[in-house]
């Protein structure tokens, strides 16, 4: 964290000190963003420093919120490969269609990025009990990283969540609850439990660090494309943290001068029916 200056509300701009546990903005209940001293990073973290670092998301440590690397909770979040999808691309008449295969991450999805960071920061702050509502693979990621950290994970899922997702959480040692309701009802229970059961809410966009984890997707993409991104990025959106995280990454890389400004890709938010 030597490079973190403060946290800032993405909506109203209210500032908060780093090094303390935060949820949402206390003024307007919107998410907080971690802000960095990018001028200092520019001076002390030249791009060439990346050369030779392990191929995991922690290679961008200077642009991540963790203060003491000893607090990192990791299951080895590897740099995920980019695959040419030639036949699928040809079907759509595209010159080039690439897929970033996030299934290579621990627990099989990009949720690992956010949860690795959220659980790392929870560890840094000495939190011991985490909770989240989920209807899918975020629960598995939370359960796995909490187990890695020796923390309790409480996962609240709508009762129609696929059994495999429920079992994944359970087998990782989480306390799993099937809720007779929708994901919003699970979220409400998690908020209510904050006081009653004293857990920390790591719901999407309810704490500041999952977004910093997802940001590494943008940092990685930029590095993999040698700092010149593709024209379009299509992203399966879910809660939206990944889209916001990538955009934040591109902004920071522009300020560092690692990416040219004015050349950001067009971002397409894709969502499945019924999500
Ligand atoms: Zn605010």
Contact 145, 93 (CB under 8 A): no
In this prediction, the answer to ipTM > 0.90 reads yes
- Could you give the CA distance from residue 252 to residue 259 in angstroms, rounded to a whole number? 9
Contact 152, 142 (CB under 8 A): no
- Could you give the CA distance from residue 244 to residue 236 in angstroms, rounded to a whole number? 12
Give the Å distance between the CA of 270 and the centre of ligand 1: 27
Give the Å distance between the CA of 256 and the centre of ligand 1: 26
Give the Å distance between the CA of 150 and the centre of ligand 1: 33
- Residue 200's nearest CA partner among 149, 254, 126 is 126
pLDDT at 105: 98
Contacts of 2 (CB under 8 A, 6+ apart): 67
Give the Å distance between the CA of 194 and the centre of ligand 1: 20
If phi over 0 gives left and psi between -120 and 50 gives alpha, with beta otherwise, what is residue 36?
Answer: beta
Give the Å distance between the CA of 65 and the centre of ligand 1: 20
Give the Å distance between the CA of 24 and the centre of ligand 1: 8
- Residue 207's nearest CA partner among 14, 7, 1 is 7
Give the Å distance between the CA of 8 and the centre of ligand 1: 8
Give the Å distance between the CA of 15 and the centre of ligand 1: 9
Residues pairing with 266 in the sheet: 232
Give the Å distance between the CA of 26 and the centre of ligand 1: 7
Give the Å distance between the CA of 144 and the centre of ligand 1: 32
4-107+209-270: CATH topology: Rossmann fold (3.40.50)
Give the Å distance between the CA of 13 and the centre of ligand 1: 6
Pairing of β 200-201 and β 232-236: unpaired
Give the Å distance between the CA of 6 and the centre of ligand 1: 14
Contact 143, 177 (CB under 8 A): no
Helix (H, G, I), strand (E, B) or coil at 176: strand
pLDDT tens, position by position, for the chain (275 residues)?
Answer: 579 999 999 999 999 999 999 999 999 999 999 999 999 999 999 999 999 999 999 999 999 999 999 999 999 999 999 999 999 999 999 999 999 999 999 999 999 999 999 999 999 999 999 999 998 889 999 999 999 999 999 999 999 999 999 999 999 999 999 999 999 999 999 999 999 999 999 998 889 999 999 999 999 999 999 999 999 999 998 888 999 999 999 999 999 999 999 889 999 999 988 66
Give the residue carrying structure tokens 């040692």. 173
Q: How much is the CA Rg of the chain, to the nearest whole Å?
A: 18
- Residue 266's nearest CA partner among 242, 231, 214 is 231
pLDDT at 177: 97
Give the Å distance between the CA of 240 and the centre of ligand 1: 18
Report, in this order, helix, strand and coil percent for the chain, each rounded to 5: 40, 20, 40
Give the Å distance between the CA of 32 and the centre of ligand 1: 8
Give the Å distance between the CA of 23 and the centre of ligand 1: 11
pLDDT at 275: 63
Give the Å distance between the CA of 17 and the centre of ligand 1: 14
Contact 116, 139 (CB under 8 A): no
Give the residue carrying structure tokens 């995920």. 80
- Could you give the CA distance from residue 113 to residue 55 in angstroms, rounded to a whole number? 14
């Amino acid at each position: 964290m030597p490079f973190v200056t403060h946290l800032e509300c993405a909506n109203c701009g209210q500032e908060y000190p780093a090094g303390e546990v935060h949820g949402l903005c206390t003024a307007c209940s919107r998410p907080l963003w971690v802000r960095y001293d990018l001028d200092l990073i520019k001076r002390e973290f030249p791009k060439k420093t990346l050369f030779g670092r392990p191929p995991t998301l922690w290679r961008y440590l200077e642009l991540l919120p963790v203060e003491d690397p000893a607090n990192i909770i990791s299951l080895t979040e590897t740099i995920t490969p980019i695959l040419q999808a030639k036949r699928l691309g040809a079907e759509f008449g595209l010159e080039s269609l690439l897929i970033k295969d996030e299934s290579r991450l621990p627990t099989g999805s990009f949720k690992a990025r956010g949860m690795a960071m959220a659980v790392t920061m929870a560890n840094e702050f000495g939190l011991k009990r985490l909770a989240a509502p989920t209807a899918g693979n975020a629960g598995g990621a939370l359960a796995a990283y909490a187990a890695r950290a020796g923390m309790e994970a409480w996962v609240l899922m709508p009762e129609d969540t696929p059994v495999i997702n429920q079992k994944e959480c359970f087998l990782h040692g989480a306390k799993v609850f099937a809720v007779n309701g929708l994901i919003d009802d699970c979220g409400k229970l998690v908020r209510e439990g904050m006081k009653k059961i004293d857990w920390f809410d790591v719901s999407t966009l309810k704490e500041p660090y999952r977004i910093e984890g997802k940001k590494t997707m943008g940092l990685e993409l930029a590095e993999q494309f040698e700092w010149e991104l593709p024209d379009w990025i299509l992203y399966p959106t879910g809660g939206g943290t990944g889209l916001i995280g990538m955009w934040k990454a591109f902004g920071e890389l522009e300020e560092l001068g690692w990416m040219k400004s004015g050349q950001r890709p067009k971002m397409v938010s894709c969502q499945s029916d019924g999500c």
